[in-house]
Chains A and B, each alone.
Chain A
Amino acid sequence: MAYAKPLPKIDTLNRPFWEAARQGRLVVQHCTSCGDRHFPPGPVCPVCLSDSQDWVEVSGRGTLEGWVEFHRAYWDGFKDALPYRCCLVRLDEGPVLVSNLIGEGEPRFRAPVRVVFEEVTEDVTLPRFAME
């Protein structure tokens, strides 16, 4: 059956993130001038405005800064997944991401989490997180 959930809108700016995810690597944008690491990517570094930026791999480890459970589907593709959990993760390297919290057990605030890659289509792999 065709994958019915929304897929990332891959563009010039974010393509390195999704290509790395397909290879099982979590990357964030990195400013080669001041060293700031951030996500989602921008056309210039939000700290020093340099346009000299690349992507660096991060550890995939972070802390659970919050979570919610959706009981309403805003896309038909999520109807069968209800209720599902989304989470807020602060990576050890700094950037904050939204993702899905997978695995069993009650979420614990600021618990250590690690990335788990899940291939959802031939082209797209989603970085999700599980408590350690």
Chain B
Amino acid sequence: MSRELKDKVAVVGVGNTRYGNFPERDEYSLAAEAFRNALEDSGLRKDQVDGLLVCRIPYYARMGEVLGLNPRWTLTMPPHGRMSAIGIIEAVAAIEAGLCTTVALLYANIGRSRRVNYGGDENPSTWDPFGFTSPGAAHAMMFRRHMELYGTTTRQLAEVSVSVRYHACLNPDAVMRNPITIEDHESARFITAPLRLLDYCLINDGAVCVIVTGRERAKDCRKPPVLISGFGAQETYAPSSISNFDMEFWYPAVKASGEQARGMAGVEHADIDALMCYDNFSPTVLFSLEGLGFCRQGEAGSFVENGALSLGGRLPVNTDGGHLSNSYMQGWALNVEAVRQLRGECGTRQVPDCEVVQYVQATPCTRSIIYTRG
């Protein structure tokens, strides 16, 4: 896809708030803090930002007013996790089309302090009379199918949660910082079986900002640019009546997105130093590994065994602790982590000699982005 967009746009600023429970703050307050941090990180002046993309923030114009911004390009994304990479790719396209030069992408979530449940009457569906609700249940259904089709076990699934938690313990910003074992996973309470508490992502408040600009402008920024070298996309809109569900674990879409992204960036699997994988629920990581071709379909369970996803393992995944243990920033924080790894800013959780990082979201809107060191 879009080979002419390879390496044309760079991430030059990233910022986040603390993550937690902040009932006294709203989306604008959190997003403003993340924006200030990202702007400082980039070394840009506020008046150099002429594009604004907001996600899970109620009103773009109020956001612009809060920040004192009057950009010439604005986009609002719906409050869905799958929008992070869509937003980043849209910003690349807008910059290369000349619609703006520098975009601030802002995401905020106050779901923890407002007691969002992600199920029941918050998300009405055809299947409510049967009690079938929540993205977690859809992933439980998919994982049950994976168990039956391929013999995957919950102990293998536990490897995902254990590795990601290990990374969170190395991340001073992470919400969950106590180590867990496979046995802890296996004895956690069921939420929707076969998934247990430790298979579910966190729900916390916080905000993230990413600032992107053209490669030439990026040279003048404070830190070395991180290039957006490749991306790929494929939607799977049926069955949307069963939301967050796919009979095939989005395998065809993830495969297509990965092939597009690698082809555009000109990298192979062996070049990828770390994977940032949308982990709303632990099974998504297995589905992503298979779709991207790090292993064959049905073999992710054995791929992840023995800490394969931990730092020092065959493929470090979600080195910030992901959605499962760092912060539920719906993909945005994972893109920030990709940038920080490529800059070498990650301290004790740094992947050595990190040159290529892939992001993937296996969802009804599947996307993958490949970042490289500029």
Tell whether B144 is near chain A: CB-to-CB under 8 Å. Answer: yes
| Docked-complex contact A65 and B191, CB < 8 angstroms | no
B112-144 interface bits toward A, Cβ cutoff 8 Å, 1 = contact, 0 = none? 000001011100101111111110010011101
Tell yes or no: A35 within 8 A of B by CB. no
Tell whether A117 is near chain B: CB-to-CB under 8 Å: no
Closest to A6 in B: B128
Known contacts: A40-B241, A71-B191, A72-B192. The answer to whether A99 contacts B130 by CB under 8 A is yes
On whether the beta carbons of A86 and B238 are closer than 8 Å, the reply is no
Question: Smallest CB–CB gap between A100 and chain B, Å?
Answer: 5
Decide if B148 touches A86 in the complex (CB within 8 Å): no
Tell me if B145 is interfacial: C-beta within 8 Å of chain A.
yes
Q: A88 touches which one: B119, B134, B141, B191 (CB < 8 A)?
A: B141
| A94 on interface, CB distance cutoff 8 Å | no
List A residues 50-84 near B (Cβ within 8 Å): 65-72, 74-75, 78, 81, 83-84
Q: How far is the CB of B157 from chain A (nearest CB, A)?
A: 14
In the complex the two chains form, what is the Cα distance from A103 to B234 in whole Å? 40
Whole-angstrom CA separation of A81 from B72 in the bound complex? 54
A5 touches B129 (CB 8 A): yes
Range, interface on chain B:
20 to 34
CB within 8 Å of A: which of B161-206? Answer: 189-194
The closest CB in chain B to the CB of A88 belongs to B141
A124: nearest chain-B partner, CB-CB: B129
| CB of B239 within 8 Å of the partner chain | yes
Which residues of chain B come closer than 8 Å to A75, judged between CB atoms? 120-121, 128, 131, 133
| CB 8 Å contact bits of B60-101 with A (1 = contact, 0 = none) | 000000000000000000000000000000000000000000
Q: What's the least CB distance linking B107 to chain A, in Å?
A: 25
Residues of chain A contacted by B121 (CB below 8 angstroms): 6, 75
B193 and A71 within 8 A (CB): yes
Given the known A-B contacts A78-B131, A86-B132, are A68 and B117 also in contact in the complex, defined by CB atoms under 8 Å?
Answer: no
**29 A-B contacts (beta carbon < 8 Å):** A5-B129, A7-B129, A8-B126, A67-B141, A67-B144, A68-B137, A68-B141, A68-B192, A68-B194, A69-B192, A70-B137, A70-B192, A71-B192, A71-B193, A72-B192, A74-B120, A75-B121, A75-B133, A84-B131, A86-B127, A86-B137, A88-B141, A88-B242, A98-B126, A98-B127, A98-B130, A99-B127, A109-B145, A126-B129
Q: List residues of chain A with CB under 8 Å of any chain B CB.
A: 5-9, 14, 40, 46, 65-72, 74-75, 78, 81, 83-84, 86, 88, 96, 98-100, 109-110, 120, 124, 126, 128
Please give 5 more A-B residue pairs, beta carbons under 8 A apart, in addition to A8-B129, A66-B141. Answer: A9-B124, A68-B137, A68-B193, A74-B120, A86-B130
